[in-house]
Structure 1
């Protein structure tokens, strides 16, 4: 049954697609920039330039070291924490919290977004309340979560899940409202109903928008991590930020910021690989 749906999509293709000559290779777009090594090098150009500028302004004394330690000082701080065995624990604990909260929040967002995007009743019941909750700042949840879930891992993961929920929910709900009705009717003509129709036709049709929502949710999860680790934490990159601020360790503050940026980039890249696999499977 699932093999028939792509054929239906092919029948609904526009005249421009049908007019393409058989056997003609698609025109390459991007030229030199489409080559992977060139794109990687160009992507690294700006970070390297920033590091050079950072080193220059600190080495020449334009900015005092107590305000902006140089890259070597940040590197030394990383080595110091690494020798103590603390750096790996900070990274591992924060990554675990983010991934767990992201999985929970994105999963609930998929359910709520599907209910609102596909059902008029779900839209009427859920949209006003969720729109109001979306406007609540992340730190406003902290006292309530401490009261309800105490100061353990549950409260931290729940706060991150709240941050990951809304991008997936809003993006999916909006995308499902604009799925081509002809495509849905074609799926129903093949006997697809309910969850089977959603999984086979509607979700593949909104896959680019869904992945965009997941990317935003992952970035939001890293943003909510710092707020989550304000809840009586003793480990994690968010805790390292606040502890370093209290102790005046600007080098460790910069180290935590750099690590958060690198981890966010790495997890986003992994999500990009998953997107390519899903596109190959459902295209």
Structure 2
């Protein structure tokens, strides 16, 4: 009974907080946040890209008057996050700064089904590969596996230093509401962060090779392994296709975790004894 009472209490508290928070102010989004443009022929009809507007940036914690929002309402800024943040000390490469994500996201929308096809083929190959290896000797791929883990560790670290500072800068410049409500094309879809978000999405296909190493080495492949690969692939592709504002959180978190995780795997494959921080990797 005690756990049930605690759960009921937490539910009531959450409901009260949400209702209290919604009564403080109404959130006014810019027109390019309108989801209607996402639903009217998302594949066949080209989407209109959001345009930055010159509007007054209003504090997100205290309601204020603006020419665009009635009293007691909050307005989100329109300034493109990727173009308004001073991160020149990290972003030194011009090809990163010149990246525009609209072309890539449009291609992904046209091929929205790709993640489903790949996930289905992945499961078929997993079953066929496991059965094929039943009467065969396990391959010794210590060298290739070490190189693979090192590559993913370096790649994840590069992605982390491109997305985590951008997310922190967004939070410090515009606040939390901006990061969860503003159109992804504006907040993180372009520039260095946009490039590495795009690379992150496609890296989920590449990471399926992890399973191949387990199959040919005849290691146990549990439910959590293949379920994780499939669901993350499907989620990332869907979020990128529909330009989810909160995607930057998942990308920054996943890059950071994988930078540490694959570094551990690399060290474990080249050292006589695995590092002693395996528990940290498991918790992450």
TM range (shorter): under 0.3
Which entry has the higher C-alpha Rg, 1 or 2?
A: 1
Taking structure 1 as the reference length, what is the TM-score of the superposition? Answer: 0.25
Taking structure 2 as the reference length, what is the TM-score of the superposition? Answer: 0.25
